[in-house]
A and B are shown apart, each in its own frame.
Chain A
Amino acid sequence: MAQESKAGAVRSATLRRAAPAEPEARPSPGYLALTWQRLRRDRVSMFAIYLFAAICLITVTAPLVATYVLHTDPNAQDLRNNFAPPAPGRWLGTDELGRDNLTRVLYAGRVSLLIGFMVAVVSLLVGVPAGLVAGFYGGRVDDAINAVIQVLQNIPTLFFLIILSVTFRPDPTMLAVIIGVIGWMGTARLVRGQTLSVGRRDYIDAARVLGASDARLLFQHILPNLISVVSVVAGFEIASGILFESGLSYLGLGVQPPTASWGNMLQNSLDYVTRAPWLVAAPGLMIFLTVLAIFLLADGLRDAFDPRMRG
């Protein structure tokens, strides 16, 4: 500043005083952070997250809850106290063998939730690559995949599952895989749509011109844009997996006793509709609450991801 003339120094000093000091620019939050902020402001979604987390927590830790909190054992039969209605200490009553209903519901939840999650995993494992490939490569590959989807969509699901479960008597894992394999088409369609819209963007072309391989384009550029679609779809798949499994087990064709699931507890309760209505209410209520939480959360996520929904 020794070089500046006196006039220049006065001028720049004036200018410096007139312009307000600029705060140091903060980096703008990323896409995911913004989404989380929007989600946090939605009270319904937050309630759904807490509810779902609570249900997952108590079912996963069912053995601990049973031993330390409730002091019960899901298999302990007490035939003198069978069909006991709900009361303090026996919060959901007992079943035909005197087993505590609440404990059994918690244990059954592990099976039902596990199946739900696995259905979502399988559906994503098959549907996301299918949709990606169809949307990215287009042309004949797209046609082929679309044809497969068309064919599979025309197969009557429930009937097929009935046949499959009768002939092969699948265990919960296999059941989840089968349900997932029958139902991945929706995921594939959504992923394909999103891939098509993202794939047309300029930066993809730019990356390609710069020599990016297909794999790099897919994994580094397109896949991250699918997070919004995929997470919402995953939510709905978990819920529909739970509903599907419970319907199937309720018919007697899904999870087989002695493994308990919410659906097959309902099957069991059919014999005791008049003697022990709490046996019908409890598993169904759990299914309802879980699925409700997932639906609310998935809806909220969808709105949170959408940058057009301000406020």
Chain B
Amino acid sequence: MARFLVRRLIQSAFILLGVSILSFGLMRLAPGGLVAMYANPRISQATIERLEEQLGLNDPLPISYAKWLTSALRGNFGVSFIDQRPVVDKIAERLPATIELSLAALLLGLLGIPLGVFAAMHRGSWADNLIRVFTVVGNAVPHWWLGLMILVISANTVRIFPLGGMYTQGHDTLVDRLWHLALPATITAMGGWIGYSRYMRSEVLDVLGQDFVRTARAKGLSERVVLVRHVFRNALIPIVTLMGGVLAALVGGSVLFENTFSWPGIGRMAVQAAFQRDYPVLMALNMFTAFLVILGNLLADIAYGWVDPRVRYE
């Protein structure tokens, strides 16, 4: 197990390195150069050159990358091109909002688990069919568009949900915050409902067909004990692996939802930085997301090995 961990950690370090080289290279190769956004005919060539020198863009690619890497390893990701503030500060400002949304969505999404179990237990009933239809339809509809449609309805008829943002200016109470969180969290949680319910349904059906369940029933155990102690316990095991992807979805998936609901998190920041060509911010966000993805996958693999004794890593 220790060897496996060490191997994966080294692998992860290489992956992170590779991602950083790739992103850095791509950004430097951008046509028009990095200051293309800021150049207009009235800025003299001398000013542009001074700007480039200031931002360290005159160095050849490897040296520039080495400089970035050494300061990044010390925790300094540079300053934003837009407002000269340290990138780390800017990210730290917006991160809590994303965490709030993602955590709320994660918790809400867990409702998919009992939903899937219910569907499996009542297989073939109208409830089961309804859940299955919901799953298929829910997979096909773009969730962010659904959120947008609900906002449209809310804007044009009864104001059920606020049109965006995390709170109302000048009226920042807990209730207000919860009201703002309701729709974004629900829409983001939809992915979880669909994913978990599908998974649990097939898992529980699978376990219900196993011999040991028949034995337990034949032994005379009450249905409740059979379900809780034998069926659920075995069916819930693989769900742990699904949760590994959650860390990655924490940041990655939030981009679309944060944009739709004007949620001030790092997903929205990434898109804004992209439009403003704020490369230091983009680099830092890229590394952060890659780190979360790798960590999430690693934790999921470890958890799977720990939870299912038949899978062991040497």
Measured CB to CB, the residues of A under 8 A from B are 150-151, 153-160, 162-164, 166-168, 239, 243, 246-247, 250-253, 266, 270, 273-274, 277, 280-281, 284, 287-288, 291-292, 295-296, 299
**Contact of B23 with A266 in the complex, beta carbons under 8 Å:** no
6 contacts between A and B (CB under 8 A): A163-B23, A163-B282, A273-B151, A284-B141, A288-B141, A288-B145
B144 at interface by CB-CB < 8 Å: yes
Contact partner of B29 (CB less than 8 A), chosen from A155, A167, A274, is A167
Given contacts A154-B15, A292-B136, contact A159 B252 (CB under 8 A): yes
**Contact of B136 with A296 in the complex, beta carbons under 8 Å:** yes
Which A residues are CB-close (under 8 A) to B286?
A: 156, 159-160, 163
**Contact of B31 with A162 in the complex, beta carbons under 8 Å:** no
Measured CB to CB, the residues of B under 8 A from A are 11-12, 14-15, 18-19, 22-23, 26-27, 29-31, 136-137, 139-142, 144-146, 148-149, 151-153, 155-156, 248, 251-252, 255-256, 259, 270-271, 274-275, 277, 282, 285-286, 289-290, 292-294, 297
**Contact of A154 with B293 in the complex, beta carbons under 8 Å:** yes
Which B residues are CB-close (under 8 A) to A167?
A: 26-27, 29-31
Q: How far apart sit A107 and B141, CA to CA, in the bound complex (Å)?
A: 21
| Apart from the given pairs A277-B152, A284-B146, A287-B142, 20 other A-B contacts in the complex at a CB distance below 8 Å | A156-B19, A156-B252, A157-B252, A159-B270, A160-B286, A162-B271, A163-B282, A164-B26, A167-B27, A167-B31, A168-B31, A239-B140, A250-B256, A274-B155, A277-B156, A280-B148, A284-B141, A288-B141, A292-B140, A295-B139
Q: Is chain B's binding surface mostly helix, strand, loop or mixed?
A: helix
Which B residues are CB-close (under 8 A) to A166?
A: 30, 274-275, 277, 282
Shortest Cβ distance from B78 into chain A, in angstroms? 16
Shortest Cβ distance from A17 into chain B, in angstroms? 51
Q: How far apart sit A247 and B256, CA to CA, in the bound complex (Å)?
A: 7
How many A-B pairs have beta carbons closer than 8 Å: the answer is: 124
Which A residues are CB-close (under 8 A) to B15?
A: 151, 154-155
Task: Give 7 closest A-B pairs by Cβ, nearest first.
Answer: A292-B140, A156-B289, A284-B145, A167-B30, A291-B140, A288-B141, A166-B274
Shortest Cβ distance from A49 into chain B, in angstroms? 15
Shortest Cβ distance from A115 into chain B, in angstroms? 15
Q: How far apart sit A156 and B20, CA to CA, in the bound complex (Å)?
A: 12
Q: How far apart sit A281 and B146, CA to CA, in the bound complex (Å)?
A: 9
Which B residues are CB-close (under 8 A) to A295?
A: 136, 139-140
Which A residues are CB-close (under 8 A) to B27?
A: 163, 167
Q: How far apart sit A163 and B27, CA to CA, in the bound complex (Å)?
A: 7
Q: How far apart sit A153 and B248, CA to CA, in the bound complex (Å)?
A: 11
Q: How far apart sit A281 and B153, CA to CA, in the bound complex (Å)?
A: 10
Shortest Cβ distance from A167 into chain B, in angstroms? 4
Shortest Cβ distance from A94 into chain B, in angstroms? 17
Which A residues are CB-close (under 8 A) to B146?
A: 284
**Contact of A153 with B297 in the complex, beta carbons under 8 Å:** yes
**Contact of B140 with A288 in the complex, beta carbons under 8 Å:** yes
Which B residues are CB-close (under 8 A) to A252?
A: 271, 275
Contact partner of B293 (CB less than 8 A), chosen from A155, A273, A287, is A155
Which A residues are CB-close (under 8 A) to B252?
A: 156-159
